[in-house]
Amino acid sequence: MSSSDAAASTSSKPFCLVKSSINIDETFLVPHIVRPGETLSSTGLVSRPGGKGANVSAAIALAGASVSFSGAVGKDAPWPLKELESRHVITTDAEILDNVPTGRAFIQIAQDGENSIVLLKGANFATDSKSSDPEKSWSDKITHLVLQNEIPLQTTVAFLQHAKKVGRHVTTIFNPSPMLTQEEVERFPWKSVDVLVVNEGESMDLLRVLQPEHAKKLESLPEGQDRSRQVLETLSSLEQLQETAWVVLTRGGQGVMANVVLAESQEGKRSFFNVPPFRPKQVKDTTGAGDTFAGNLVAALMGHNVDADEALLSSARPKGEKFVEEALRWAAKAASLACEKEGAMQSIPSADEVKARSS
């Protein structure tokens, strides 16, 4: 085999890089949310790994796909990386920094269910590390790139634009959560995004900036399936998203909708999909369900747990509707199972667990 053939063979094997966040969620159980000037004893403390990037990396790996997490923790608490490794996530692209603490979410949960959260960005927002520069950290084996918005936007944009300059197709997946500011939305290179995953609230936030008149009309509609479809159709029609093959609208317990450009569609015409919800046996905690959905959708795009679509090796546009339907159903089912357990990363099911649950 020649070196060029070997390179082509390697690049054809789906491999995902998640460039995003990793945190420690410090959850304090308290009688009530602490008041200004008050000292309060908690009745319990639970420390769990978190961060949207870490969660979606775990979901991709547990779904059976090859994934590497790129991000940073501090020397004060590097153990969340071990949690990723135990779920088969590659962490050689992650860094342990000397003078910056691991990112944290300090969460108070009161007996009445009220909560309060203080975030420490920590190592997630280090911009002078090797892993924040795609020129230094990129690998030719990357076929899929997942990005969110819990690290500096300049880093996210740098990786997104680099993925479109490497000379071969890399499928880029973006979940703008937490939502960008108005100025960031206006300046973001949306045309470099192949797969956009948003919930209805995030969709409306985008439309309020990019199509404010339409957003006002949509806000006046009653919530429900008709409004959701109109939100999706309006979002999909934006000039900024004409190069985006998948626009996916997650609807929580109401299922998922998507507008997808198929490989043989004329003039970029989109096909509409509406997948009903898969009902969990019981809902204990919805934290992490969105990341579970996104990770399992990415794994499906990489050919796992559904009939692989060969068209996706060279484009983000799938060959047929059957693949899209199967991919969305699988991801929705996995997200539903995640709601049956407490925690974020701890609740993400493996592929075997999803397969074992009857549809």
Q: Indicate the DSSP class of residue 257.
A: E
Tokens read off for 151: 């690290």
253 annotated ligand binder: yes
128 annotated ligand binder: no
* Region for residue 13 given its phi and psi (left: phi exceeds 0; alpha: psi -120 to 50; beta: otherwise): beta
150 annotated ligand binder: yes
CA-wise closest residue to 19 among 153, 121, 140, 122: 153
234 annotated ligand binder: no
Tokens read off for 219: 């806000």
CA-wise closest residue to 17 among 169, 177, 195, 159: 159
44 annotated ligand binder: no
23 annotated ligand binder: yes
291 annotated ligand binder: yes
DSSP 185-198: HHHS-GGG-SEEEE
201 annotated ligand binder: no
130 annotated ligand binder: no
Please list the active-site residues: 291
Helices (H), the chain: 3-11, 52-62, 80-85, 134-137, 153-163, 182-187, 200-210, 212-219, 225-236, 289-301, 321-338, 351-356
341 annotated ligand binder: yes
Output the known binding site for substrate. 23-25, 51-55, 150, 291
Output the known binding site. 23-25, 51-55, 150, 199, 250-255, 285, 287, 290-291, 338, 341, 343, 347
Output the known binding site for K(+). 285, 287, 338, 341, 343, 347
